């Protein structure tokens, strides 16, 4: 009797285990297929979420100005964001195409002339003499000078082709991401409720606090890294245009890239300064030098003000997370890395607080000997 009941219980447990395994397998298969379907759009979707979270305060203010019409506010802010992305891209492309066309025509017609190196170039430390020698050779025989650096030019050319192709794909992804961000903004309230429910399911009573921390971190990185990089790039580009630097759009784009990855704009500013001091009058060159120093060091002033603003976390944690995320996942890692490290930092602090509290209670419960 007891043996029969035990066998029946074992069969029930086995049947439940098999059913549970089948359900988990089906859910896993469904999740894998969903991921395969969404994977081509995953990066634009993530960027759309980041953009929507970063600009949501501006969207809310615009919605209030429009009398509480969320659809119109979402459309307007999406169009504005597309203009902000597309207009500089068109200007940069026009600069590159026109500059490349003029250079090709000049080389084909043989009218391309390079002035000799200024006398002071040869006195520069380390690179002065070989640079002056190569510069003077290029002014006399450009073909021979290019022949000396042909292997390096091939490597640079291949890198530029890959970078241009990657930049084109990135621009298309950003356009799609901005459109997705507009959709998220339009349905922001329902999306926010869904995020709160998911956070509560994952972290119980700490879910809402961690969700708010994630939002604040994304906005902090957008202001402190991308915002500062954009301000520096605009000011540097205006300086390039003011002194008549050829291909100002290209140099500005390179400044934006280096500013975003936290290298700084001085690697671009220095060769431009050399060109300006070699071609412009002394007063113009000195004014441009002062302007360049101001723009190049502006991030040291703005970043401590903007990065970490609104987040009760040390700025170093956000900065390390952003840079580490960029090194591992590219530009999108600026946000993902910062959010993950900030959340990890908060979870660690919470765990330490719990352990400290338990230790205090255990110590208080002991009877002194």
Nearest of 304, 209, 226 to residue 262 by alpha carbon = 226
**Is residue 3 in a domain?**
no
CB 292 within 8 A of CB 236: yes
**Who wins on pLDDT, 362 or 175?**
175
Whether residue 231 lies inside any domain: the answer is yes
d(CA 276, CA 219): 37
CA-closest candidate to residue 258, choices 287, 232, 277, 288: 232
- Outline where 243-314 has alpha helix (H): 248-260, 266-279, 282-296, 298-306
Q: Please check whether residue 119 lies inside any domain of the structure.
A: no
Predicted local distance difference test score (pLDDT) of residue 361: 60
The model's pLDDT over 303-338, given as tens digits with 9 standing for 90+, comes to 777 776 666 777 777 778 888 887 777 767 777 777
Q: pLDDT category, 294, cuts 50, 70, 90?
A: very high
Which domain covers residue 253, as residue numbers?
Answer: 206-354
pTM, full prediction? 0.65
- The alpha-carbon radius of gyration of the chain (Å, integer) is 29
Span of 284-288, 312-316, 353-357 with lowest mean pLDDT:
353-357
Q: Mean pLDDT over all residues of the chain?
A: 76
CB atoms within 10 A of CB 330: 14
Most confident of 26-30, 266-270, 313-317: 26-30
Alpha helices in the chain (DSSP H): 2-38, 42-65, 70-109, 128-140, 142-148, 150-186, 188-203, 207-221, 228-242, 248-260, 266-279, 282-296, 298-306, 315-329, 333-365
pLDDT digits (tens, 9 = 90+) for 63-76: 888 888 888 888 88
What tokens were used for 201?
């399911």
pLDDT of amino acid 137: 73
Q: Is residue 292 within 8 Å of 267, Cβ to Cβ?
A: no
Do the domain assignments include residue 34? no
Q: What is the mean pLDDT of residues 13-17?
A: 84
Q: 298 lies in a domain?
A: yes
How far from chain centre, in Å, is Cα 306? 16
Query: Which alpha helices (H) appear in 141-187, and where do they start and end?
Result: 142-148, 150-186
pLDDT greater at residue 81 or residue 141: 81
Residue 332 lies in a domain: yes
Burial of 228 (0-12, 13-18, 19+ CB in 10 A): buried
The total number of structural domains in the chain stands at 1
d(CA 261, CA 272): 20
Does any domain span residue 365?
Answer: no
Does residue 155 form part of some domain? Answer: no
What percent of the chain shows pLDDT beyond 70? Answer: 73
């Amino acid at each position: 009797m007891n043996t029969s009941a035990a066998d029946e219980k074992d069969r029930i447990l086995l049947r439940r285990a098999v059913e549970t395994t089948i359900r988990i397998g089906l859910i896993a298969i469904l999740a894998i297929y969903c991921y395969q379907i969404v994977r081509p759009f995953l990066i634009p979707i993530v960027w759309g979420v980041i953009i929507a979270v970063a600009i949501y305060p501006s969207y809310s203010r615009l919605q209030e100005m429009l009398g509480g019409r969320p659809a119109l506010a979402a459309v307007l802010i999406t169009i504005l964001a597309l203009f902000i992305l597309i207009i500089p891209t068109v200007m940069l492309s026009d600069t590159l195409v026109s500059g490349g066309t003029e250079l090709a025509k000049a080389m084909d017609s043989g009218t391309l002339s390079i002035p000799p190196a200024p006398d002071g170039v040869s006195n520069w430390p380390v690179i002065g003499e070989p640079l002056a020698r190569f510069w003077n050779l290029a002014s006399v025989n450009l073909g021979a000078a290019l022949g000396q650096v042909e292997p390096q030019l091939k490597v640079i050319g291949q890198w530029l082709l890959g970078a241009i192709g990657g930049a084109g794909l990135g621009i298309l992804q950003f356009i799609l991401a901005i459109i997705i961000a507009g959709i998220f903004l339009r349905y922001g309230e329902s999306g926010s409720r869904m995020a709160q429910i998911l956070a509560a399911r994952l972290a119980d009573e700490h879910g809402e606090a961690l969700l708010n921390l994630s939002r604040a971190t994304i906005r902090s990185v957008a202001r402190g890294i991308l915002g500062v990089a954009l301000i520096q790039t605009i000011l540097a580009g205006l300086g390039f245009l003011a002194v008549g630097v050829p291909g100002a759009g290209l140099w500005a784009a390179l400044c934006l890239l280096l500013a975003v990855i936290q290298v700084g704009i001085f690697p671009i500013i220095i060769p431009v300064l050399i060109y300006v001091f070699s071609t412009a009058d002394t007063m113009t060159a000195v004014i441009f030098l002062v302007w360049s120093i101001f723009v190049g060091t502006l991030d040291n002033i703005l970043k401590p003000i903007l990065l970490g603003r609104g987040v009760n976390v040390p700025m170093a944690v956000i900065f390390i997370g952003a840079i580490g995320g960029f090194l591992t996942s590219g530009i999108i890692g600026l946000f993902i890395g910062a959010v993950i490290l900030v959340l990890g930092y908060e979870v660690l602090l919470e765990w330490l607080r719990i352990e400290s509290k338990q230790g205090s209670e255990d110590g208080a419960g002991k009877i002194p000997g």
